[in-house]
Amino acid sequence: MTKATERTEHVLLSHWLDNQAYPGVSGSTAAVTNPATGAVTGRVALGSVEDARAVIDAAAAAFPAWRDTSLAKRTQILFAFRELLNARKGELAEIITSEHGKVVSDALGEVSRGQEVVEFACGIPHLIKGGFTENASTKVDVYSIRQPLGPVAIISPFNFPAMVPMWFFPIAIAAGNTVVLKPSEKDPTASLWLAQLWKEAGLPDGVFNVLQGDKTVVDELLTNPKIKSVSFVGSTPIAQYVYATATAAGKRVQALGGAKNHAVILPDADLDLAADSMVNAGFGSAGERCMAISACVAVGPIADDLVAKIAERTTPLKIGDGTKDSDMGPLVTKAHRDKVASYIDAGEADGATIVVDGRNVQPDGEAEGFWLGPTLIDHVTPEMSVYKDEIFGPVLSVIRVETYDDALELINSNPYGNGTAIFTNDGGAARRFQNEVEVGMIGINVPIPVPMAYYSFGGWKASLFGDSHAHGTEGVHFFTRGKAITSRWLDPSHRGIELGFPQNV
CA distance 29 to 39: 16
* Residue of 146, 85, 148, 96 lying closest to 118 (CA atoms): 85
Neighbours of 21 (CB within 10 A): 16
The vertex-199 CA angle with 193 and 204, nearest 5°, equals 140
Q: What is the full DSSP assignment across 311-364?
A: HHHHTT--BB-TTSS-SB---S-HHHHHHHHHHHHHHHHTT-EEEE--TT---B
* Residue of 498, 443, 147 lying closest to 280 (CA atoms): 443
The vertex-159 CA angle with 249 and 4, nearest 5°, equals 105
| CA 195 distance to own-chain centroid | 18
**Annotated catalytic residue, options 32, 259, 290, 439:** 290
Question: What is the DSSP-derived secondary structure letter of residue 445?
Answer: S
CA distance 376 to 385: 15
Sequence-distant (≥ 6) Cβ neighbours of residue 207 within 8 angstroms: 59, 62, 66, 173, 178, 179, 198
Sequence-distant (≥ 6) Cβ neighbours of residue 217 within 8 angstroms: 46, 47, 48, 49, 51, 52, 182, 211
* Residue of 124, 80, 75, 53 lying closest to 479 (CA atoms): 124
296: annotated active-site residue = no
| CA 421 distance to own-chain centroid | 19
* Residue of 416, 407, 419 lying closest to 446 (CA atoms): 419
Total residue count of the chain as it appears in this document: 505
Catalytically annotated residues: 290
